[in-house]
Chains A and B, each alone.
Chain A
Amino acid sequence: MSQPLTGPELAGSCPIPKSRYPEITMGHGAGGQLMEDLIHRIIVPTFDNDILAALEDQATLSLPQSDSRLAFTTDSYVVQPLFFPGGDIGKLAVHGTVNDLAVGGARPLALSAGLILEEGLPIETLERVLRSMGEACRDADVRLVTGDTKVVERGKGDQIFINTSGVGLVAKDRTLSIASVRSGDKLIVSGTLGDHGIAILSVREGLEFETTIESDSAPLSGLTEKVLATGAPVRVMRDLTRGGLSSVLHELARSSQVGLVLEESAIPLKREVRAACEILGLDPLYVANEGKLVAAVPAESAEDVLDAMRQHPLGADAAIVGEAVADHPTMVLMRSAVGGERVVTMISGEQLPRIC
């Protein structure tokens, strides 16, 4: 039941309205406002601790008598279809967790995997997914060292769900943080946006369309090492996943209390992705990626970092797309091609295709 639409709710109207949904909807998992609401309103307060509350992609914990800190992260994978152009659920499950470690400057050491299998899943499908996970581990130079398997009744799962957790080591003096962006910093994305989301859409039941776009699923640890090896005082790196570039930029803007300004014409997009977004009525700023990151770096180091990224195969299309400013803290603006400026808002739930 939604709230009754009556007047008194207006009294003392809160700028952040209470969520309208008494049940979990798909939008709560889409990386936008609804999910953020869930995290801030329910999850973080429940476990009340500063490491969780920092909301970095990875928690870092001190180790006794060591020059390193332990980076720790977890992620679950529920993608459908399981196999799509450019990847599969197994690859994603390795890359996603490796990337959450890598963007914190950590060297990934080991992963765990929890498999939730639906009764009736062909063993052959499972083998295919696991083989792919194995290859992805080798590519990312990380070992899968522990795991768990559960089976649920037919209809209680969707073929296969995977959770992976990962640990890595990060140098003690490394201070990458979403709260450290300063006015004047440049924003660099490592390549074209939206490839993964559009590749998945192109094979989803009911939406099939012909495209050559492949998912960008890839381990970013090589790229992040390259960036950090420049010695540039990188403020933060984040991998772009659900909710796209927009969601990450909103987190940066809020945690660092800066405004961000994007230059629409500078944002790298594959021609096919741009066309698909125009046709489907989607905004590439909100479309998912699985092998891209955004970095905020001081202006004087921006060219060095950009060069370093471009020398790596996964950063060939890297570009400076905007900067942090002191004006309008927490807001993300975009200068449009025609010259007008607009605010980029955080998406509410899922991007719903437009009617016409």
Chain B
Amino acid sequence: MKPLSRIAAVAGMALVGGISSAFAGDTFDAVKERGEVICGVHTGLYGFGAPDEKGNWTGLDIDMCRAVADAVFGDATKVKYVPLSAQARLTALQSGEVDILSRNTTWTLSRDTANGLNFTVTTYYDGQGFMVKKDLDLKSALELEGATICVQTGTTTEVNLADYFRANNMKFTPVTIEKYEEVTAAYLSGRCDAITSDASQLAAIRANDTPDPADHVILPEIISKEPLAPAVRHGDDQWFDIVRWSIFATMEAEEKGVTSANVEEAKKSTDPTVQRLVGATPGMGANLGLDEAWAFNIIKQVGNYGEIYERNVGMDSKLELPRGLNAMWTKGGLMYSPAFR
């Protein structure tokens, strides 16, 4: 048994590979040299970052990584995805294990400062809300006095809930459950009057888990701000600019009506902003240190923000989330790209 184990042990060590060294110094140079962007993503959150049944990563956060890969390499597939747990995500970025953290992460002051992150652009404005059964006939969360409310344990959701009720001097009974499926089941079985979670999650539950979505309403109050944004490390301004403007390019494209379908024609556009965006008028790429076709490639391969949104979380997806705050500023939302010039 012993010599057998020894040989197997040696073979086993050979099987698990060695130590890999990523980069030292400038992120952009390291990425170019490596030939791929390393992107920290969620371990599985449908619509934002999750592998599909073929093991391909899809989602809004994933598309932001693909956009950056397009800007740098002109090829959206040159991304390596590193799934990260909620606890490990900040360390992974700080330690240089990933180049971008695009993992459904809320932009907060402490993370932006003490944790050494630089948030680039908000790609999704989320917030905590309430869902109730329609036959309760509620119009506002302020009518939830004395209600029993289902909430997931160990999340900021629980804290926000308590804060909101204390601030409004109302009483409530929380039903705290650890697993998401069980929270939903508890709400549907009538153990609680209301369920609270991020509005995007509530919409997903309403669309997919309820027997009839029309029987449930999401109340208009949003009790917390959850701006979700990809982040990069402190202290590398060039990389920060590249990631941030790659995302802005998708928003500018939507505002100007440039889509993956018409981006070829957009090259002949008479609008000077569009010309600068797609590289027909050079300059923007050079400023970023990228190829002049950087934004053209993003729009061509990944699409503009509207396309990304609809495909992953909007009406073309199984989540069917309305644009709401995530519409362009020209349509009453908060999505706004600074000027392309």
Do A and B belong to a common assembly?
Answer: no
**Chain A interface (Cβ within 8 Å of chain B)?**
none
